[in-house]
Amino acid sequence: MPARNDSNVVIMVVDDNECNREILNVFLSHVGYRVIEASDGLEALRVATTESPHLIIMDLSMPVLDGFAAVQLLREIPKVSDVPIVACTAHDTPAHRLQALKVGFNAFLAKPIDFHRLSFLLQKLLNGGQPSAMATGE
């Protein structure tokens, strides 16, 4: 994976709230990533398998298919099973953090988004590392 921001790096943003997707899209595009979007977990499955993102940022609470179920299904698809996935949610509780990491998310990011922390997570995960304590939002 690329070590720096690169327009060839595709990041998928999955959130049912259009405003949240737009905020992330503006930030990620501004720092040089190509952004694709999905509005729920089911759409994320389809988009991920056709677009092959390098990283996914996914909300946990969504209609149709929530983030918990979607990440479990993504982990079963060989084409995207190793793609780093960041849980991004307003439900910042120890139980949500633990559940997210147990079902297959690589890291946890609370809303409102700390863009410095997001930048750190992107660099770490896109370079094949694990964010250690940052995974739990500590």
Q: What is the pTM of this model?
A: 0.90
Counting residues of the chain whose pLDDT is more than 70, the rounded percentage is 88
For the CA atoms of the chain, what is the radius of gyration?
13
Query: Where are the chain's structural domains?
Result: 10-130
Going edge to edge, which strands form the sheet with 107-110? Answer: 34-38, 10-14, 55-58, 85-89, 107-110
| φ, ψ of residue 86 in degrees (nearest 5) | -105, 125
d(CA 126, CA 66): 24
- Give the per-residue pLDDT at 91: 87
The continuous run of DSSP H or E covering 85 comes out as strand 85-89
Q: How confident is the model at residue 6 (pLDDT cuts 50, 70, 90)?
A: low
Q: Which of 71-85, 87-101, 120-134 tops mean pLDDT?
A: 71-85
| pLDDT, mean over the chain | 90
Indicate if the pLDDT at residue 24 is higher than 60: yes
Q: Which class is 10-130 in CATH?
A: alpha beta
Q: Where are the alpha helices (DSSP H) in 17-133?
A: 18-30, 41-51, 67-74, 94-103, 115-126
